[in-house]
């Protein structure tokens, strides 16, 4: 069994070596940045580690094209950590305000910490060449549009075909980090008062336009800096994700004690939001026990309670037989609406994945619909911008489900109509990309 590497002394080479180790699973399709261990370096280097990893993934199509141009021959698969170091070095030179001598010297030197001293000369030569020929080399690789726009070809082509008016703005938003948005717990405070508490702490922000509970910060901060975080006064959640509670409000607000299912609930942000807003009996279901433990931690911090079920929502062996008044299906999806927060999607997601995800979404819809009482509401949600997972999925469901009708509101200020649902796109300094469709089971 591998052991976690203890934090080292905090020199520049160590944090770059740690970034390379963290990127290897992404580059080799063996894992994601979800497993990034920020505690593998000393506290003062954790922000840099995260920036090196997430920034490299965000710019990956362009960085890989430049690396291929700089190298006489590709590294062997066993040297994917050196490939990662090269990408990290290119990222620093082109996108960070790190002095060039430090970006080159510390990155090349980090190869020694990976046990590959031979690579220091290769890395040093490649990065110094990039310094000398930066403008020419960048112009050369940018002849390929997917490189210049930093998206894999399949995704760029799909977005352009599906969203001919929005695709360019969409990809520009994907290439920028998402803002830090908070959800104020209205059981404890109102958001105007909490915004005042933030201002007193020197944390500036603004009220979200669409979520009545949201505040977007001008700059991200550690959650430990947020007033009342440990006491459950506030949580971190994107504005688009907060809209699920808004859409379910008409079904839940008039029904104290309503029986509600949150299927595929982890990591628990929407679960908690519903419990903050409404007096309901909520069952939170997820097939991943570790992620379900995160839901439990979230609810404990907020002082909320739900029935947690470790089960597969495509099956019914967990169901008591009592119909639900409302179901939130936040379905597994491509994550193409949250690429800016999970930039490794650019490397890890494949075109063929979309068909498989759409099949799973269809199974979830068909399995959960009979669990809903007549007159009940099901809210379908994804953090995708692909119609195959969204509008087309709901259109097909309605066609084969005669007792389902759509009640997605049209008189709202966010998103655009998309089939029988509502599509939001990621916006710079604002919400993520999301899709919602609200369905009601009518009397047979």
Which sequence positions are flagged as catalytic?
383
The answer to whether the beta carbons of residues 402 and 374 sit under 8 Å apart is no
| Selection from 398, 378, 388, 399 nearest residue 423 by Cα | 388
Cβ atoms < 10 Å from Cβ of 48: 18
In this structure, what are the phi and psi dihedrals at residue 189, rounded to the nearest 5 degrees? Answer: -165, 165
Which residue do the tokens 């000393």 mark? 42
Asked if residue 26 has a cis previous peptide bond (ω within 30° of 0), the answer is: no
**The pair of three-digit structure tokens given for residue 292, joined into one six-digit string:** 């379900």
Q: DSSP letter string over 197-209?
A: HHHHTT--EEE-S
């Amino acid at each position: 069994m591998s052991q976690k590497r203890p934090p080292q002394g905090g020199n520049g080479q160590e944090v770059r070596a740690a970034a390379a180790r963290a990127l290897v699973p992404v580059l080799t399709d063996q894992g994601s940045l979800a497993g990034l261990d920020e505690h593998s370096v000393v506290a003062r280097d954790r922000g840099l580690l995260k920036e090196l990893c997430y920034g490299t993934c965000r710019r990956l199509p362009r960085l890989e094209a430049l690396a291929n141009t700089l190298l006489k021959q590709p590294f062997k698969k066993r040297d994917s950590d050196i490939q990662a170091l090269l990408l990290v070095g290119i990222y620093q030179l082109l996108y960070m305000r790190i002095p060039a001598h430090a970006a080159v010297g510390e990155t090349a030197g980090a190869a020694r910490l990976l046990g590959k001293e031979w690579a220091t000369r290769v890395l040093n030569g490649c990065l110094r060449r990039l310094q000398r020929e930066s403008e020419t080399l960048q112009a050369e690789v940018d002849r390929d549009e997917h490189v210049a726009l930093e998206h894999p070809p399949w995704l760029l082509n799909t977005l352009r075909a599906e969203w001919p008016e929005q695709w360019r703005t969409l990809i520009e938003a994907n290439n920028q980090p998402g803002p830090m948005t908070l959800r104020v717990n209205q059981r404890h405070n109102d958001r105007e008062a909490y915004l005042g508490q933030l201002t007193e702490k020197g944390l500036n922000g603004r009220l979200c336009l669409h979520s009545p509970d949201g505040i977007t910060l001008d700059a991200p901060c550690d959650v430990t800096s947020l007033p009342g975080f440990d006491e459950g006064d506030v949580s971190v959640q994107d504005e688009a994700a907060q809209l699920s509670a808004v859409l379910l409000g008409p079904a839940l607000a008039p029904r104290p004690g309503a029986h509600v299912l949150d299927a595929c609930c982890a990591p628990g942000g929407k679960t908690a939001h519903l419990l903050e807003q409404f007096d309901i009996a909520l069952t939170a279901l997820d097939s991943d026990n570790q992620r379900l433990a995160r839901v439990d931690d979230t609810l404990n911090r907020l002082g909320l309670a739900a029935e947690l079920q470790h089960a597969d929502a495509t099956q019914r062996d967990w169901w008591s037989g009592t119909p639900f008044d409302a179901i939130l299906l936040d379905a597994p999806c491509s994550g193409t609406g949250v690429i800016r927060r999970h930039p490794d999607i650019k490397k890890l997601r494949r075109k063929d994945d979309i068909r498989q995800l759409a099949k799973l979404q269809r199974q979830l819809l068909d399995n959960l619909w009979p669990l809903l009482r007549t007159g009940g509401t099901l809210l379908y949600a994804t953090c995708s911008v692909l119609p195959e997972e969204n509008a087309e999925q709901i259109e097909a469901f309605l066609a084969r489900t005669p007792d389902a009708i759509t009640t997605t509101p049209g008189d709202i200020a966010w998103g655009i109509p998309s089939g029988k649902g509502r599509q939001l796109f990621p916006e710079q300094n604002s919400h993520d990309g999301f899709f919602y469709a609200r369905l009601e089971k009518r009397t047979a």
